Amino acid sequence: EDIAETSSANRELAARRRNLISEWQRYREEVTARVAEERAAVGQPLHSVLPADEEEVIQ
Amino acid sequence: MRPIILQGHERPLTQIKYNHDGDLLFSCAKDKVINVWFSHNGERLGTYEGHTGAIWTCDISKNSALMVSGAADNTMRLWDVKTGKQLFKWEFPTAVKRVEFNEDDSRILAVTEQRMGFSGTVTVVRVPSFENDVAAETPLYVITTRESKATVAGWSYLSKYLITGHDDGSVSRYDAKTGDYLESKQVHNPGASITDLQFSVDRTYFVTACKDTTAKAIDVESFEVIKTYLTDTPLNTSSITPVQDFVVVGGGQEARDVTTTASRQGKFETRFYHAILEEELGRVKGHFGPINTIAVHPKGTGYASGGEDGYVRVHAFDKNYFDFKYTL
């Protein structure tokens, strides 16, 4: 019975997390699309995270 | 991996900042000196000397040519990053607590302290075009904070809004072109000071740190709280990681309060939260006093923390950090 209870609790938690993540993804897509439009309207390129390249080490 | 410990300050750290590429790390402290370090090995590249009071804040232009700093000597100064030479100076009636370049590096905001006879302000100036550009001394506009002084401020994407965090736990939003007031919101416990405000990479939302022991993510457009991160200690700083969806916070009991609590534990750990799930993921120990400032590497490869203990600790994330995923 305990095992059944834990596994159902885990399932609930996992479902809650999945919901939060898909909600966030929807929210971010909306924002990104809106901001892309605003930026295009004023001719400013999109901001993005720079790639994590190997940093040049000068000795 | 072991952190690199930067020992270049004799007093508590106030703010640390990476440049846009992340190869340099700038540190401000109460000892009146700003240091710049190579972030990959902790070697000190140089210092910026001239301020005659505690340094509260600095920021670096996107191309890493210019650095701006604000201090308790009531001045904001512009520096040539490479040579260490001071290029320009603005004078204020009170201390400068926070500075920031806008997106295209054409403007700088300065949060000035409230003192008897002087209201706190957010003053916006133009970046001087040449060394004796005296016209740049005149502000473009000055926002006078009425209800509660601003403690921190920043620019949203496209320099559309100017966002301020206040001493009473509220946040405000202004039109960044004109300085016109738009709205305020009490997002934290009334009377709990907001101590930090850092933006997401695209500057569409920001995260606050507050003495009420929480950090909150707020959308710049809707101005709604979208996430809340609960901790058990007063927070001094919060930052958002690119690459992974994490929020990093730091704080701890102030020295003068430690003896008044039952547990003498100061809780001087850096804490990682899942930005979306709001769950705590882990803590990093190391500082001997409260953590005053945290900066995340712009490429998301590591982070650095600066403490009341005078040290900066630079951490590179391990491979398992990037592999981390919740099993759902």
Closest by CA to B70, choosing from B61, B62, B78, is B78
Q: Which of A10, A21, A34, A54 to mutate to test the interface with B (most CBs of B within 10 A)?
A: A21
pLDDT of residue A56: 46
Buried b (16+ CB within 10 A) or exposed e, B170-185: bbbbbebeebeeeebe
Give chain A's contact residues with B (Cβ, < 8 Å): 14, 17-18, 20-21, 24, 27, 31-32, 34-35, 38-39, 42, 44, 46-52, 55, 57
Residue pair B98/B78 in contact (Cβ under 8 Å)? The answer is no
* Beta carbons of B40 and A51 less than 8 Å apart: no
Q: What fold characterizes domain B4-320? A: Methylamine Dehydrogenase; Chain H (2.130.10)
Provide the edge-to-edge strand list for the sheet that holds B170-175: B150-155, B161-166, B170-175, B181-186
Q: Residues B179, B182, B188, B192: what is their CA dihedral angle, to the nearest 10 degrees?
A: 40
Q: What is the ipTM of this complex?
A: 0.88
Residue pair B30/B54 in contact (Cβ under 8 Å)? The answer is yes
Residues of A in contact with B299 (CB under 8 A): 49-52
Spacing of C-alpha A1 from chain mean position: 37
Give the span between the Cα atoms of A49 and B228, in whole angstroms.
Answer: 24
Nearest CA-CA distance, residue A2 and chain B, Å? 21
Give the span between the Cα atoms of B49 and B220, in whole angstroms.
Answer: 36
Give the span between the Cα atoms of B196 and B207, in whole angstroms.
Answer: 8
Give chain B's contact residues with A (Cβ, < 8 Å): 20-23, 40-41, 103, 157-158, 160, 201-205, 219, 221, 226, 242-243, 245, 276-277, 298-301, 326-328
Give chain B's mean pLDDT.
94
Q: Which of B206, B276, B279, B301 to mutate to test the interface with A (most CBs of A within 10 A)?
A: B276
Least confident of B70-79, B242-251, B254-263, B311-320: B254-263
Q: Where are the domains of chain B?
A: 4-320
Q: Percentage of chain B with pLDDT > 90?
A: 88
Residue pair B15/B57 in contact (Cβ under 8 Å)? The answer is yes
Give the span between the Cα atoms of B67 and B64, in whole angstroms.
Answer: 7
Q: Provide φ and ψ at B14, rounded to 5°.
A: -115, -40
pLDDT tens per residue across span B53-99 = 999 999 999 999 999 999 999 999 999 999 999 999 999 999 999 99
DSSP B145-170: P-SS-EEEEEE-GGG-EEEEEETTSE
pLDDT band at A58 (very low <50, low <70, confident <90, very high): very low
Q: What is the pTM of this model?
A: 0.93
